[in-house]
Structure 1
Amino acid sequence: MTTALQPPLPSHPVLRLRLAPRSDLPRSIDGAWWPRSYDLLVELPRLLAGLPREWGHITSVTVNGAVWSAAPGRILVSNQVVRLRRAQAANAPHTVVLLAPGRGRWDLVVVPPDTAEDAAEPLMAAAAGALGEG
């Protein structure tokens, strides 16, 4: 009798993030993030851990307050304080803004967590490509 071994499940789900290629031109959108839930305390540390190192330490994150779960004004991520801001931006309900002092600002489209994969993939590709130009 043989037993097939199952590969262990990853302890952390794969980050669903797609970033626009580096460019010297300013962009209105820098990529797309597809979180698994609207729980900032769970999702934000995963996002910040997966960002490019050259972005530096993100100290401030702004999200749509009407969409994301309640969270404190600051959280500790990798032993660093990150300030959470909640905006009621009707013009950008599905974005997250990341700030790193002296490094820059990055705006990511947030694909709603309950979006089906076949619908999410084109949204992420568009945010990281043609829609990110400009």
Structure 2
Amino acid sequence: MRVDMSIIIGTAIWLLIVLLAIANGVLRDKVLAQLLGKKLALPLSGISLSTLIVIVASNTIHFTGLSTFKGFINLGVYWLSITVIFEYTMGLFVEKKSLHEINQVFNIKKGNLFVLVLIVVTLAPPLIAYYKELY
């Protein structure tokens, strides 16, 4: 069985994004929430994470070796899938949260912009690849 290197590299890029997301969350909780309050810190955190995703994808996407629109779309859907799986796995098994608590990341009315993060993580690979003329 041959493992496609684009999957391995795409996963490595995603892991970098996860590390930045964790750091972004710590910064939100320990600094921004203290300075600005949780109500403002939460949406700012979603915007900053979305920006970080674009920066990371923009600087690493060429390493995947992908060269087709479909390939970059698949990478975005893959990143979306593992992001959602990661969110629920961490919430349920590490943080011991209920499904209701985890689902609050989708509550835009409370200022959580995780939906924006999911849109960005999905669309970043094909849009950046298009902009960089990689396909």
> What TM-score, normalized by structure 1, do the two folds share?
0.32
Between Structure 1 and Structure 2, the one with more helix by share is 2
Higher strand share: 1
